[in-house]
A and B are shown apart, each in its own frame.
Chain A
Amino acid sequence: MRLSLQWLAEWIPLEIPPEALAERLTMGGIEVDAIERSGADLSAFRVGHVLEREAHPNADRLSVCRVDTGEGEPVRVVCGASNVAAGQKVAFAGDGTRLPDGTAIKRSKIRGVVSNGMICSEVELGIGADASGILVLDDAAPVGAALSDVIGSGDVALELSLTPNRGDCASVLGIAREVRAHFGGALCVPETAPREGARAAKDDVRIEIEEPADCHRYAARVVHGVRVGPSPDWLARRLESIGLRPINNVVDVTNLVLFEFGQPTHAFDLATLRGATVRVRAAREGEKLLTLDQEDRELDPDDLVIADAERAIALAGVMGGAETEVRAGTTSVLIESAHFAPARVRRSARRHGLMTEASYRFERGVDRAGVARAADRVARLVAELAGGEVCAGLVEATGAPAETVEEIQLDAERVNRVLGTAIADAEIQALLSRLDIQHRRARGGGDAYRIPTHRNDLARPEDLVEEVGRIYGYDRIPTTLPVAPLGPVHAPPLRAVAEQTRDAFRAAGLLECMMLPFLRSDDLDRLGIGGEDPRRRTVAIANPVLEDEARMESTLVPGLLRAVHRNQTRQIDAVQLFNLSRVFFARGGSTLPEERVAVSAVITRGERVAWYEAQDDRPAPFFQAKGVVERVLRDLSRPAEFAPEWAEPYHHPGASSAVRVEGARVGSVGELHPDVAARFDLEVPCALLELDLSALAAQGAPRTAYAEVSRQPQSSRDLAVLLDRETPAGDVLAAIQQTGGTQLVRTDLFDCYEGTGVPSGKKSLAFRLVFQRHDRTLVEAEVNRLVDRVVKMLGHRFDGELRNAPRREE
């Protein structure tokens, strides 16, 4: 909300600079977002009177005017505006006057005619945006007066952001009250009572409330004989100072009063109303209303409307109807001031996407005692500015009273216990009285406070504690530390798994990335994930920011592939990224979805090779990814098992494996399928790995225990075996380990070779077997026996053929 300090100063003395005021309001809960200075000092400008206007002899678009400036002889001024006319009161800048933008006005010749100054537009004066012509002042403006005395000058506006509980502050009155609470001073509230004529308003109109629960009060005044026209300067400026466009003297008055008191009002052209009864009722099924913004709106039965005998004429608390609006020619005006239930207004405003100054205030709650005052004030000002006679009396009807809290019990002990302060009773009472919250003895003893009608946000003792705290000043509350026993700290088991996993990925050289966790509509199709896959049970967002990003991730893979693509487009082809995040699986209906914590990583093979490695010596990307999985699971103290299978549809079928821990599938590793790579526009080879950390955490924390190491010497043997190319090395390794028994403490695969010297269709695997006992040294014969057993096993189980005699390594 924008607020002019000039305006505010009429309501409460402002004896401090705007910055200090803004600081205090902000600290007290009325946040000042900006302080804007508008309008320069206009005291050097004078009110001029255009005595004559004639065409410029040498230019079609210029006029030559004789202007009375109140000093000496009238002067000749050349003017370029088309709206200049004899008889006008105008803003005149004489020789030597400086415009707010710094330009100095000089006596000069314009197309051969001497001009002794300038007649100014709003823009030139720095007070408005209208550059279409000169500013025409009120006829009553005294010739020769300083312009600043006529239209004011040098205003400061505060841009306020109000919290939703402080509807009472959405007005000059409300802010003036806050200022008074902080700085003291007396409120100066303008006169509201209209001078009434003889004719009674009740002869023109009756009010009926059909929805008493949502219309607590509806008051109306009638003014006859008005002349609708432009508002006087002071009113137009005032509205402009808070960013409103003046419309006409009647509508402008309703807007002015809305900002003065925070009570929305509306003016109807009484002559357009059918029948003499104004009804507050629910909209009918299918009923329509053309609102002031020229939108034809289909109403909902939950909408509260104002209606005449035949039709809805306003959306209650939100916006009036176009057919009954006050316009040029309107002579009789019905002024509405009402108290509608906040929730009902809010629903209508949201339903129709219409957030208005009125709905804003009704949603936050208006002062229940301010309804009549606003109607009076509007009637008074309409009669003052548009003429006419105010009918006697306020026509009104009441619905069910709003729920209100009139008194709250509060003792000082509570205030000080909650705030951690030692504020005396008397000071608490004094602080609250600055907010019109008056102390009184409670009936059963103790302290109670009367809540003023404009503070419908105050309902419980804590609300008053806050009022005490914010007026006292949060900065004055002593800073302490809680005293409490230090017990053991609990954390969800999944957290430890997730954090260990992050550390393991980091140690393995991967970069953690975070991305917006939304799937794009064709992501799952592009991955080739089928209809039965649980990842198809996505959680859909009903109101996404982007239509194409309307689902929560059920897999982290598309995001990572996009990340690779993004890097690729920036010429970064070698990346190792991981993303640890939640994935979501819908369970249907209103059941909350299943959420699991997953980690996925992508490793790409870039073009670049380090100086110490050869391009063609590098293992397939699959093994890099597999190495990361092994490392991560080792860091998590979980032994990884790899089952050769086509684990994911987006994996290359020849380079894919499931990852299991204790028999349960916990993830996968594989190279990206070339078709999928093409669908994501990826040009570099990628390997993916995924782990379901929720599944790992569900297995419980593994116990890490010390195992005694052997102090005896070990014996090693190297075996090179020719095997069929298709024989899985993992099977061979496992079989060797099984055959070697407990005395075979380690088996390393140290070479895997195909090529020269190896028959086609075969491969050569070289193993180092390490034997050791805990209790004594193994003698050579024992080791040889074990090796023989392994060699025989390799022969009959894998058709393996020893390439050389077992070599002894010491």
Chain B
Amino acid sequence: MTSRTSQELAELEREAVEAIEAADSLPRLLEARSQVLGRKGTITESLRGIGAADPADRARLGRELNLAKQRIEARFADRRAALEAGARERELREHRLDVTLPGTGLRSGHLHPVTQLEREMVAFFTGLGFSIEDGPQVETDYNNFEALNFPPDHPARDMQDTFYVEGGNLLRTHTSPVQIRAMQRLEPPFRFVVTGRVYRHDFGPRSSPMFHQIEGVMVDERTSFGDLKGILYAFARQLFGARVDLRFRASYFPFTEPSAEFDVTCPNCAGAGCGTCSQSGWIEWGGCGMVHPRVLENCQIDAERYQGFAFGMGIDRAAMIRFGLPSIHVLFEPDARILEQI
């Protein structure tokens, strides 16, 4: 191969630059570059041919070729940048979505309000070291009533209208039979909560034959009624806000002595009195008291040494307060529009 003259080189460079400038797309530009600087490109081959050139001419040729190569690479880089910028601009111009179309998101699932409240409640008590106990919903008369100090043929039994099942057992009317099951097994001191479904033979605008309770028990040597109040205050404020107040009214439950019912400040009117609370400023929430010594004795616990408190309240009721539900029946109505919103 003969070495090229300066003039030939200039011509070569001019053609290459023309081709680069003429390329209107990145593939064409790459093609144009490889014609010159590729493995078999004109400049590449010329560089490769330097060895065969006239030794006197080699230095000049080498210098001119390298300068030309650098200039072409620079033009190439400029052109490439221009093309890429153009392509991005075009892409930005052309990718136009109707962003008001709905997203392709999945349907969102939902936990039942009773589940939500139950978890919140249980989390509060497990955080205070209460374990979780569980028991059957179909119970014996003994566990549901007798062991809890409801004597047979006693009007206390009228407090809880009962569903009986064939064979003489019953649907538990409260979660308290689990107290009996747990306390027969546990050695004091202990504390636990129980949650679950309970049943009352009662169907009306304000009552459902099935509803949910949470119940807690703590037994130790000196656990007092004051402690019970303290726990319930903390609990109510966790659930309904720091401003709610409680009031404890003397009451009667066969399985606690002393017994109390407790009301929580009506969250709707903050205690001022409204339709939700029948103008009283309070909403009835649950029952509590000190575990009756006879109940402890029925569970083989030394009632002279140990004492403790028990409390129970409706989870459904808490859900109604939280979500402002007009009726308990809303909770058990499987309408997707209801289930999705609360």
Contact = CB atoms under 8 A, between A and B. Distances in A.
Interface of A: 26-29, 31, 163-166, 342-344, 346-347, 363-364, 417-421, 460, 462-463, 465-466, 469-470, 474-475, 477-482, 484-487, 489-492, 494-495, 499, 502, 505-517, 539-545, 552, 562-563, 566-567, 570, 572, 575-577, 582, 584, 586, 588-593, 595, 610-612
B334 A513 contact: yes
A393 B227 CA distance: 57
A583 to B, nearest CB: 11
B285 interface: no
A610 B251 CA distance: 57
B290 interface: yes
B240 interface: no
Given A26-B249, A470-B258, A542 B165 contact: yes
A755 to B, nearest CB: 26
A469 B259 CA distance: 10
Contacts of B290: 418, 462, 465
A421 B109 CA distance: 49
Interface in B248-294: 248-252, 257-260, 290, 292-294
Interface of B: 101-102, 104, 106-112, 114-115, 119, 126, 128-134, 136-140, 151-156, 158-159, 163-169, 171, 189, 191, 197, 201, 203, 208-210, 218, 220, 222-227, 229-231, 233-234, 247-252, 257-260, 290, 292-294, 307, 331-337, 339-340
Contacts of B223: 482, 484
Given A29-B250, A509-B108, A572-B335, A543 B201 contact: yes
5 tightest Cβ-Cβ pairs between the two chains A and B: A420-B226, A420-B224, A29-B250, A466-B258, A163-B252
A642 B111 CA distance: 27
Nearest to A573: B336
A343 B152 contact: yes
A612 B104 contact: yes
**Residue from A343, A479, A482, A584 with most neighbouring chain B CB atoms (10 Å):** A482
A27 B249 CA distance: 4
A482 B102 contact: no
B210 A516 contact: yes
B132 A342 contact: no
Contacts of A477: 225-226, 229, 248
A341 to B, nearest CB: 9
A417 B226 contact: no
A483 to B, nearest CB: 8
B153 A499 contact: no
Contacts of A463: 257
Contacts of B154: 164, 342-343, 346
Given A164-B158, A511-B109, A474 B260 contact: yes
A487 B229 CA distance: 22
Contacts of A495: 132, 134
Given A462-B293, A466-B250, A511-B340, A516 B332 contact: yes
B202 to A, nearest CB: 8
B201 A545 contact: yes
A637 to B, nearest CB: 20
Nearest to B234: A481
Given A26-B249, A481-B234, A545-B203, A460 B335 contact: no
B120 to A, nearest CB: 13
A479 B252 CA distance: 21
A689 to B, nearest CB: 14
- Identify whether the interface residues of B are mostly helix, strand, loop, or mixed: mixed
A191 to B, nearest CB: 32
B335 A567 contact: yes
B109 A509 contact: yes
Given A26-B249, A29-B251, A545-B203, A419 B137 contact: no
A460 B109 CA distance: 53
A259 B131 CA distance: 49
A507 B110 CA distance: 8
Contacts of B107: 509, 576
Nearest to B293: A462
A487 B138 contact: no
A514 B331 contact: yes
15 contacts: A346-B154, A418-B224, A469-B225, A480-B226, A484-B191, A484-B223, A486-B128, A489-B132, A511-B109, A512-B109, A514-B331, A541-B171, A566-B335, A567-B335, A612-B104
Given A511-B109, A612-B104, A575 B131 contact: no
Given A499-B119, A517-B197, A542-B165, 13 more contacts: A27-B250, A165-B156, A420-B225, A474-B248, A477-B229, A479-B233, A481-B230, A481-B234, A485-B129, A514-B112, A543-B201, A566-B335, A593-B136
Contacts of A508: 109
Contacts of A29: 249-252
Nearest to B112: A512
A491 B122 CA distance: 11
A109 to B, nearest CB: 46
Contacts of B248: 474-475, 477
Contacts of B250: 27-29, 466, 469-470, 474
B136 A509 contact: no
A292 B288 CA distance: 42
A482 B231 contact: yes
B185 to A, nearest CB: 11
A283 B247 CA distance: 49
A462 B258 contact: yes
Contacts of B119: 499
A155 B214 CA distance: 42
A267 B3 CA distance: 146
Nearest to B290: A418
Contact of B258 (A346, A469, A586, A593): A469
B164 A489 contact: no
B337 to A, nearest CB: 7
A484 B164 contact: no
A510 B334 CA distance: 12
A347 B131 contact: no
Nearest to B339: A511
A486 B131 CA distance: 11
Nearest to A467: B258
B335 A570 contact: yes
Given A346-B155, A418-B290, A541-B163, A563 B334 contact: yes
A681 to B, nearest CB: 16
Contacts of B158: 164
Contacts of B234: 481
B109 A507 contact: yes
Contact of A165 (B163, B171, B201, B252): B252
A591 B139 CA distance: 10
Nearest to A562: B334
B129 A489 contact: yes
Contacts of A582: 137, 197
**Residue from A421, A539, A572, A586 with most neighbouring chain B CB atoms (10 Å):** A539
A591 B230 CA distance: 41
B126 A482 contact: no
Contact of A482 (B112, B151, B164, B227): B227
A545 B208 CA distance: 11
A590 B143 CA distance: 14
Given A28-B250, A611-B101, A592 B169 contact: yes
A479 B137 CA distance: 34
A463 B226 CA distance: 17
**Residue from B138, B247, B259, B294 with most neighbouring chain A CB atoms (10 Å):** B138
A610 B252 contact: no
A610 B102 contact: yes
Contacts of A490: 131-132
A151 B251 CA distance: 36
Contacts of A610: 102, 104
B117 to A, nearest CB: 12
Contact of A465 (B108, B111, B153, B258): B258
Given A419-B224, A462-B293, A590 B134 contact: no
Given A343-B153, A480-B224, A484-B191, A577 B229 contact: no
